[in-house]
Amino acid sequence: MGRISEDTTVCPGCGTAIDRSGGFCPACGSIDDRPRVCTIHPAVRAEGVCVLCRMPFCKKCGKRSAGVFLCDPHRSCEIQEGMVRVYGTIDVLQAGYVGGVLEQAGCHPFLFSRSANPNADLVAITKIPRGYGVGGHPIEDQRVFVPFDEYQRAVATLKELGLYDE
């Protein structure tokens, strides 16, 4: 990691300016040159820090995917531009409610909405159960994302309300 000042450095993985005291880049999970060991295998050097759980992992327990380091349990999470999906539904009102709950918890949710194309081939759509498109994908799709550093707080909030399924 290249030094900008005494307290700040540049991540070689993504170019983000980060605080040197953290030891890793919260944007991509790259670690600095300080020795760090895997959470699962303490005798093995860590390759990166999961951007979601903030734990170090070796190359057997975590991988870089889409420019960020994720541990095996979080590798299946949907990642988009520094954010992670914490909730999905076909109900616009439910997604809005979840977004509001997360805002009250101090998070900064981003709601993504995709609706059916009214010009789509109606013959193809009518042969599929209502609400679903070709390949079984929802026609109405509402997703709630939060920044990486808010993932744990968002999940805890949604679990407390019974709105989070792992």
Residue 33 placed within a domain: yes
Residue 123 pLDDT grade (very low, low, confident, very high; cuts 50, 70, 90): very low
Q: Which two tokens stand for residue 31?
A: 């670690």
Task: Tell whether 69 and 121 lie within a shared domain.
Answer: no
Count of domains for the chain = 2
Amino acid identity of residue 38, one-letter, is C
Task: Tell whether 84 and 155 lie within a shared domain.
Answer: yes
User: Of the given ranges (58-67, 111-120, 143-152), which has the lowest mean pLDDT?
Assistant: 111-120
Residue 166 placed within a domain: no
Q: Which residue has the tokens 């990486």?
A: 148
Whether the full predicted model's pTM is greater than 0.75, yes or no, is: yes
Domain that holds residue 19: 2-74
Task: Tell whether 138 and 102 lie within a shared domain.
Answer: yes
Q: Which two tokens stand for residue 123?
A: 């013959």
Average pLDDT of span 20-36: 85
